[in-house]
Each structure stands twice: as C-alpha cells, then as structure tokens.
Structure 1
Amino acid sequence: MTLPTPLTGVVPPVCTPLTPDGEVDVPSLLALVDHLVAGGVHGLFVLGSSSEAAYLTDRQRELVVRAVTAHVAGQLPVLAGAIDMTTPRVRDHVAAVTAAGADAVVVTAPFYTRTHPAEIARHYRLVAAASPVPVVAYDIPSAVGTKLPAEILLELAADGVLAGLKDSSGDLGGFRRIVTGVRDRPGASGFALLTGSELVVDSALALGADGAVPGLSNVDPHGYVRLYRLCRAGDWDGARAEQERLCALFGMVGVGDPARMGGSSSALGAFKAALHLRGVISCPATAEPQVPLSGEETERVGKYLAAAGLL
C-alpha cells in the first residue's frame, strides 16, 4: 500500500477491543475493522488515543498492527501510532510497527521532559530519517503538554520530513493558519491536513482540511463518511445537519460520573459500550486503570444510540 498524497477522507482511530482479562480481543478487533470498512472509511489509524495505545504493552501494540494489516490486506492504508517519550523509543516503535505492516506512522512531540521547539523539530527529523514509511505529526497537547508550533510544522512539511498532520489540539484558528501556510508554502503540496475533532469536521473541511480522524467514527462510520461526502459535494446545509446529529451522539462521552472516573474512562468506555450494544465487539472492557461504566451509564449510552438511529 502506498499512502495517498495527500491522505483524504475519514480515517477512524480504531478502538482496541479487549477481553475481560485485558488481552487484545483479535476477533472483535477484526469485526470492528469490517464494520469500519463497510461504513466506507478511507483509512485506519491504529495505536492512537482512542486505541488506548498508552495502556497497551509493546507486545499488544505489535499484535494490533499485524492483525489489522493482515486483515485489510492493502484495501486501505493503515497508519500506526509510534508514540513514546523520546526519540530513541519512538524509533524503536517505528521499526516495530512498520515491520508489522503499517503504511505510515503517527508521532507526537516528545513528552515527560520539557522540550524546546528546536528539539521538537530535531525529533521529527531524526524519526523521519529512520522511518521507511511516511511520518504524520500528531498534535495533541492535552496528552503530551506541548502544542506543535505552526512554523515548525510548515518548515517540516516543506522539507518533506512530514507527510501530514493529525490535529487534535482543539484550536481551529491555529489549524486554519496551518492550512493557509501549507497552501502558500512551496514544497508543502501533498501535506495531509486531518482534524481529530468529532465536533467541527464540517468546519475543518470548509477551511481546507483533507479529512478527519474522529474517535466517534468507530461507533458511526457511515455518519462521518456521509458528512465527508456532503462537504465535498458542497451541500453545506446537509453537512451541518449531519454534523449536528453527530454532535448530539458525541454527548455519550459524558455519561461517566466525574466523581469516580476521569474523562478518558468515560469517553472510551462509552465508545466501547456503544460498539458492544451495536453487536460489533464482544466485550466493552477498557484497559486498566480506567474505571468501567456502570450498568446505568451503559443504558444512557444506549439512549444516545437510539436517538441517533443506531439501535
């Protein structure tokens, strides 16, 4: 598989179904992939935040990539997260996921230690020099504590170091500056601009994004593909209506009681509960130490699904 230039469309950050004892549930993972492919998605992103990559062992990460790439057998590009604290560790992950068949890698800024912008740029250059596949930057300051500077991204795009950006910063104005900068920067053509937001896909596409990587597309891939097609057809009224339906569905991420669980437990628990209720995966378990949803909270997820026409 050769990564399209630029990568476009809906690229779900694939959830990682687990067994009750915390192992990767490969049959459910492949059923989820089939569900996404049937929904018309344009690529798959494994080992991202919605994949619970931070909770998986290296053995489990490699298993996920091997299982998915073997199953799709080149039908769609498969991007894999190579996410870790430092450049040497990221390069080890790049080697592992590309050996397992990934068509591109998705890499954050270094984290845990404070990192200067010049060190972030050096990090990406060193990773790209060692990678046999394209490198996509992952801007997720909520997880790594660093917002990727626009000028560094544009410089690395123009130099051919980076093949694209997954923007999960929540900064639509900043994303717009990068879209404009890529358009105006010689050498940056082909740089894929992907929003990671569930809630403003229509706005991002209107600004010039190439596609979207929304976690909720695990639950409703047909809806996000429909939204993408409406935007590309210029039917902005239809797109707005579809986006608003998906925004209402996204309310499920708040079902968890904040007095006893964090936002990740609530959101990922809701996605997995929804997939379980829809009959896609066998078990809604999330990785430890996340707190599982209660029966009442799972019932609320079902109500969101029913209101969106998915049950």
Structure 2
Amino acid sequence: MSTPPPSGYYVPAVLFMTEDEEFDVPAIQSHILRLARGGVTGILVQGSNGEAQFLSQEERKRAIKLTRETLDTNGFKDTVVVAGTGAQSTRETIQLCVDAKEAGATFALVLTPSTWPPQMSVDNVIKFHRDVADASPIPTMVYNFPVVTAGQDLDSDTIAALATHPNIVGTKLSCGNIGKLQRLTSRFKPTEFAVFAGRTDFFLQGLLSGSAGTMAALVNIVPGLHGKLYGLFKEGKIQEAIELQAKLGHADWAISKIGGVGGVKSVVSKNFGYGGVTVRRPLKSVQHESLTANNHYAALEEAVGLEKAAGFV
C-alpha cells in the first residue's frame, strides 16, 4: 500500500508568465518561496490554477522540476510536490505520471477525462483511474472538479471504490460537497486515504468532518492565514477558527468573482511585488485597475491585510 500525502494545507500554485506567454522563472521562484515560507505542506503544480491544459508536455515537466529544485535549494526539502497529471487518454495520463516522477513530484493528482462525457460511465471512470494507478510510478489521487470535466461529478461510492486501490491514496474535492467529504472520511482514515477540501470555503468544515486539510486556490494569496486556521483547529480553538474561516470564506468567494486564474495572478502581483497578470490565451488576464472596481475585492484586501499584519509576508 502506498502512503497518502501528509495532512495540512496545499496550494495549487499559479504559474507566472512573461508578456509573450513564456515562463517568468524569477517570478515563479519568488512565488514558490513565499508559499513555502508561509508554511504550506505542499505545492500542487499544474492544478487547475497552474494552466496545465495550456502547457506542452515538456513545459509541464519543466514546471515540476523548477518547483522541486527551488524548494530543495532554499531549505524546503520537506515541502511536498504534487503534480497534476490529467489528460484525455489513459496513455498520456500515465506518461505524465512518469514525467512527474522524473521531475521530482511525490504524488500525482488525476482528473477524469472529459472529451467524451457520455462514454465515461461509472465503470469506465473507475477503470481509467485504476489503470493509471496500476502504471504510475508514484501514488495517485482522484481530482474531482466538475467545472473542468464537463460536469462530471464523482459520487462518494465511486471514490470509495477507487480508495481501495493500493496506489490511489487520496482525493481533492473541488465540488465543494461537504456531505461527500464526510461520507469518505467516515470510511477511511487520512493515513489510509486522504480526503482534501478543494476550496478554502469549507476548509474548517472539512477538518471538523475528518478531512486531511485543503488544496485551495486562495492559498496562493494568503498561505499564512491558512496555516493559522489549521493551527487553531489543531489547538482546539474552534471559535477563533470559525471567525477566521468566515473571513477566508468571503475571500474565497471573491476570487471566483474577479477572474479565476487571472484574478489570482493579478491579486498576487499587485500585493506582493512580483509577477504579472499574463495568462495563456484563451484565458483572460485581469488588470490591476479592474480589481479595485470590483465590489468583491474588499474581502481580498482584508485577507491580504491580515496576512501582512500577522507577519506572514
């Protein structure tokens, strides 16, 4: 049996680019190090915020290697690297898992193929994930994100069936379904099969329901506050954790309202002094000026202010 990733808070890191849509290596490294210094348990390279679908195979491998090397050379060898290895065929997904291992990742996070949803019956979904796990040289996790898989939303029975595979060690639930999360955590311990909230807005609720933590986009902006909430939970200071969760929940909602991946890059570059707003087209960039014109941005400003005031920057 493979070992699941450790409990904690992980970040599906954005990948900063130059204006001509090439890797902005200094900015990527600055981001990786700010996240690591913010105490993240691990960095997910090429999650949905990492623009994986818009990268070549070689670029995907390069991004993983850059992340692992940046962490290692700066004293963060214990920070876990998870690689998103989703692709539209079983064959390519397996190859991306092999590439991820070679580039230094410890775990692979696998999306369900979505080009032909009518063919992805429950039996075929299970077969796909098992086939990938059979061939992958690193443990795999099931990534459930209906928004980017043509609406496919794996239920708890399907994920539980996959959890019995010796090389499938966890799941990231970006569906936001707390009932599904609890049905899984009540069947599997985090040391057997790690269930992660895929969004910040149910980070604490997931922890209270037995989750292993979160892998969430907002960690890109305020890693330290996520660490604080996790610490409050571990210390049993639940009321304080509830109050912080409320602020983070508003900030998480705001991120979804200011432009997704482009919005995350814009907020980070505006507030932390590195990177830019470029995304790979056809994704849309979010300019700094548009942030302050958005009514939702105030919640993010408050979270960033708390991050800085607490000395997490």
Flag whether TM exceeds 0.5 (same fold).
yes
Matched to 1:16, the amino acid is: L
Once the two structures are superposed, residues 240-290 of structure 1 have per-residue CA deviations (whole angstroms, 9 ceiling, x without a partner) of 11111212323432554xxxxxxxxx1222211111012353212122112
| Correspondent of 1:163 among 163, 166, 169 | 169
Residue correspondence of structure 1 range 84-95 to structure 2 within 5 A: 84-95=87-98
Residue correspondence of structure 1 range 1-311 to structure 2 within 5 A: 5-73=4-72, 74-113=77-116, 114=118, 115-144=120-149, 145-183=151-189, 189-253=191-255, 256=258, 266-300=259-293, 303-308=298-303, 309=305, 310=307
Does the residue aligned with 2:186 lie in a helix, a strand or coil? helix
Matched to 2:142, the amino acid is: A
Once the two structures are superposed, residues 170-189 of structure 1 have per-residue CA deviations (whole angstroms, 9 ceiling, x without a partner) of 21112211112225xxxx95
User: Which deviates more, 155-164 or 16-25?
Assistant: 155-164
Question: 1:95: how far off?
Answer: 1.6
Matched to 1:211, the amino acid is: G
Q: 1:299 to 1:189 in 2, by over 3 A?
A: closer
Does the residue aligned with 1:12 lie in a helix, a strand or coil? strand
Question: 1:28: how far off?
Answer: 0.9
Instruction: Give distance in 1, aligned partners of 2:277 and 2:47.
Output: 18
Question: 1:300: how far off?
Answer: 4.4
Give the percent of matched residue pairs that are identical in Structure 1 and Structure 2: 24
Matched to 1:291, the amino acid is: K
User: Which deviates more, 270-279 or 174-183?
Assistant: 174-183
Instruction: Give distance in 2, aligned partners of 1:251 and 1:212.
Output: 16
Residues 9 and 211 in structure 1, CA contact (< 8 A), matched pair in contact too:
yes
Matched to 2:123, the amino acid is: A
Q: Could you state the TM-score of these two structures normalised by the residue count of structure 1?
A: 0.89
Once the two structures are superposed, residues 1-25 of structure 1 have per-residue CA deviations (whole angstroms, 9 ceiling, x without a partner) of xx96452100111111111110111
Instruction: Give distance in 2, aligned partners of 1:305 and 1:106.
Output: 28
Report the number of matched residues: 296
Q: 1:300 to 1:222 in 2, by over 3 A?
A: farther
5+ unaligned residues in a row in structure 2: which ranges?
Answer: 309-313
- Alignment-derived partner of residue 311 in structure 2: none
5+ unaligned residues in a row in structure 1: which ranges?
Answer: 257-265
Structural RMSD (CA): 2.0
Instruction: Give distance in 2, aligned partners of 1:233 and 1:300.
Output: 39
Q: Could you state the TM-score of these two structures normalised by the residue count of structure 2?
A: 0.88
User: Which deviates more, 218-227 or 275-284?
Assistant: 275-284
